[in-house]
Copies of this chain bind each other. A is one copy, B any other.
Amino acid sequence: MPRVSIKDIARSADVSHSTVSRALSDSPLVSAETKERIQRLARQMGYSPDAQARSLVMGRTLTVGVVVTTIIDPFVAELVQGIERYARDGNYSVILASSDAEPDREIAAVEMLNSKRVDGVIVTSSRVGALYQEHLDRLHVPVVLVNSRRAQAGRYTFSINVDNRDGGVQAVRHLLDLGHRRIAYITGPADHSDDLERLAGYRHALEEADSAFDPSLVVPGDGRAAGGEAALPAIMGREDPITAAFCYNDMTALGLMHAALRAGYTVPGDLAIVGFDDIILASHVHPRLTTIAQPVRRMGRRAMKMVLKLMDNDDPNGSNVTDVVLKGELVVRGSTVFS
């Protein structure tokens, strides 16, 4: 049983292949009788339309490309889930490409997506350099950047970001409300603008509370658990005790918390900890982690929605589409208050 095409059906039904095409797309230009006859026949013969051939003539593939650093990252996974669900509802499918954060692979991925003629692209957690931007522009399809940074503006390129600064403010205000005064910030990877923005929020909240900003309370991390663990000595081994720490992200916070517990400190008794992201781990550790939740599923949906909108009004300049900044939400758990 080889593949069956509309021509095969046409032969069996003794009509032309155009009639079959019309019947299957439920066109009004064909009699109800033959329409049903053909549709029944198609089902019997196990016909499945060839999307390739269709999109070749239609100029649309009903496919979007998603470029991620790594799907292992829980944040990315949840984002992709949001995208995929919304895409599926709109009859789109998703081609997944991961770059492992290597620029070469990222560009290769975009080239692949170009060849596959995707109708839109979503890129996450990337730093989009000038070269990369050039490749994205060559796609001639809408590109939405999620939590990414770009060196220069692109024609078709829009972005969705979480409000990092506001998140930092919320986190630190929460700690201040709890009475903490000596609050550390553990940074993310160097040179990362997300990190700088969260730090700015931290600083703003402190100054807002007439608490002077003390540079020595900013401890370097690396965005991973190891960085958080390594930060412990710099935090607990001081004369003037630090009682709380706001961390660049949840992984950092988890590393710090783990190290603190192992060293015999209590959380939040000796040290209150706030993270950022609200990855799934955050609610499965003990104590559960207080954090700033990124509205990640909303971001995924929103990204897909934006792509669809940009495609529809095929105004290349994407009128009435603007960059989006979504606020995170403070989620209070056991790492800052006793439960």
Q: Does A151 contact B (CB under 8 A)?
A: no
* Total residues of chain A contacting the partner, CB 8 A: 52
Stretch at the interface among A114-122, A156-164, A304-312: A114-122
Q: For A63, list chain B residues within 8 Å (CB).
A: 95, 116
Residues of B within 8 A of A78 (CB): 72
| CB nearest neighbor in B for A49 | B115
- In contact, B71 and A93 (Cβ under 8 angstroms): no
Query: A50–B81 contact, CB under 8 A?
Result: no
Task: Return A56 CB to nearest CB of chain B, in Å.
Answer: 5
In the assembled complex, the CB of A291 is this many whole angstroms from the nearest CB of chain B, namely 14
Q: Given A72-B78, A84-B71, A96-B80, decide whether A116 and B286 contact each other with a Cβ distance below 8 A.
A: no
For A74, the chain B residues whose CB sits under 8 A away are 72, 74, 77, 280
Determine whether the beta carbon of B95 is less than 8 Å from that of A93: yes
Determine, out of A170-178, A182-190, A238-246, A253-261, the stretch whose residues face the partner at the interface. A253-261
Q: Are B116 and A284 in contact (CB under 8 A)?
A: no
Q: How far is the CA of A115 from the CA of B262 in the complex (A)?
A: 54
Check B81 against A138 for contact (C-beta < 8 Å).
Answer: no
Within 8 A of B (CB), among A294-326: none
Distance of A262 Cα from B288 Cα, bound (Å)? 11
Residue from the set A46, A261, A281 with the largest chain B CB neighbour count within 10 Å: A281
- Find the B residue at minimum CB distance from A114: B48
A331 CB-CB contact with B under 8 Å: no
**B50 touching A115, Cβ below 8 Å:** yes
A247–B63 Cα distance when bound, in Å, is 41
Instruction: Mark each residue of chain A from 213 to 255: 1 if its CB lies under 8 Å from any CB of chain B, else 0.
Output: 0000000000001000000000000000000000000010010
Which residue of the partner chain, among B48, B117, B140, B257, contacts A51 with CB atoms under 8 Å?
Answer: B117
Instruction: Look across to chain B and name the residue whose beta carbon is closest to the beta carbon of A73.
Output: B77
Contacting B at CB under 8 A, from A43-74, are: 46, 48-53, 55-56, 61, 63, 70-72, 74
Is the C-beta of A148 less than 8 angstroms from some C-beta in chain B? no
Report which of B50, B88, B98, B117 forms a contact with A50, defined as CB distance below 8 A.
B117
Min CB gap A88→B, angstroms: 8
A82-119 contacts to B, CB under 8 A, are 84-85, 88, 93-98, 105, 111-112, 114-117
In the complex, the chain B residue whose C-beta lies closest to that of A111 is B48
Partner of A52, one of B3, B56, B81, B140: B56
CA A93 – CA B307 in complex, angstroms?
21
Known: A84-B98, A97-B84, A284-B258. A115 touches B51 (CB 8 A): yes
CB distance from A69 to the nearest CB of B (A): 11
CA distance A51 to B115 in the complex (A): 5
B84 near A52 with CB under 8 A, answer no
24 A-B pairs within 8 Å (CB atoms) are namely A3-B140, A48-B138, A50-B115, A50-B117, A51-B115, A52-B55, A63-B95, A71-B71, A71-B81, A72-B74, A72-B78, A72-B280, A80-B96, A84-B96, A84-B97, A85-B98, A95-B95, A95-B96, A251-B284, A261-B286, A262-B286, A281-B281, A285-B285, A286-B286
Apart from A48-B111, A48-B114: 9 A-B pairs, beta carbons within 8 A: A46-B138, A50-B115, A50-B117, A71-B80, A72-B280, A84-B98, A93-B97, A95-B96, A261-B286
